């Protein structure tokens, strides 16, 4: 019997590896800016991180750093821009 079997309040989800006693690494902390950008993207039909919400007052270099960090963490993917008009 495992600890999960003994505790009726335990919750297991899809992230569980299936091994008894296997611990998930803690999620890295996200900055307030990253959380605002991700929340805005979650509310968009296409899930795009851009444009960054107007409430984010960070400078361009700081916004770029946050977007790069999200990409490195696997929370964002870089995709080619759509060309919506011809020159």
- The answer on pLDDT for 86 being more than 80 is no
Q: Say if residue 1's pLDDT is above 50.
A: no
Return the DSSP state at 11: -
How many domains is the chain built from? Answer: 1
In a domain, 54, yes or no: yes
51 located within any domain: yes
Predicted local distance difference test score (pLDDT) of residue 12: 47
Q: What is the pLDDT of residues 13-59, one digit of tens each?
A: 444 445 556 787 887 789 999 999 999 999 999 999 999 999 999 89
Flag whether 40 is in a domain.
Answer: yes
Per the model's pLDDT, the better-predicted residue between 85 and 42 turns out to be 42
Contacts of 11 (CB under 8 A, 6+ apart): none
Q: Is residue 14 part of a domain?
A: no
**Does residue 8 surpass a pLDDT of 60?**
no
In a domain, 74, yes or no: yes
| 72 in a structural domain | yes
List Cβ neighbours of 4 (8 Å cut-off, separation of 6 or more): 10, 12, 20
**Structural domain containing residue 48:** 29-78
**Full-prediction pTM beyond 0.95?**
no
């Amino acid at each position: 019997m495992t600890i999960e079997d003994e505790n009726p309040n335990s919750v297991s989800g899809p992230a569980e590896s299936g091994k008894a006693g296997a611990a998930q690494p803690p999620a890295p902390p996200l900055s307030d800016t990253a959380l605002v950008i991700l929340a805005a993207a979650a509310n968009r039909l296409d899930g795009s991180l851009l444009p960054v919400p107007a409430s984010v007052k960070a400078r361009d270099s700081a916004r770029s750093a946050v977007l790069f960090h999200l990409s490195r963490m696997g929370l964002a993917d870089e995709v080619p821009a759509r060309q919506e008009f011809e020159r």
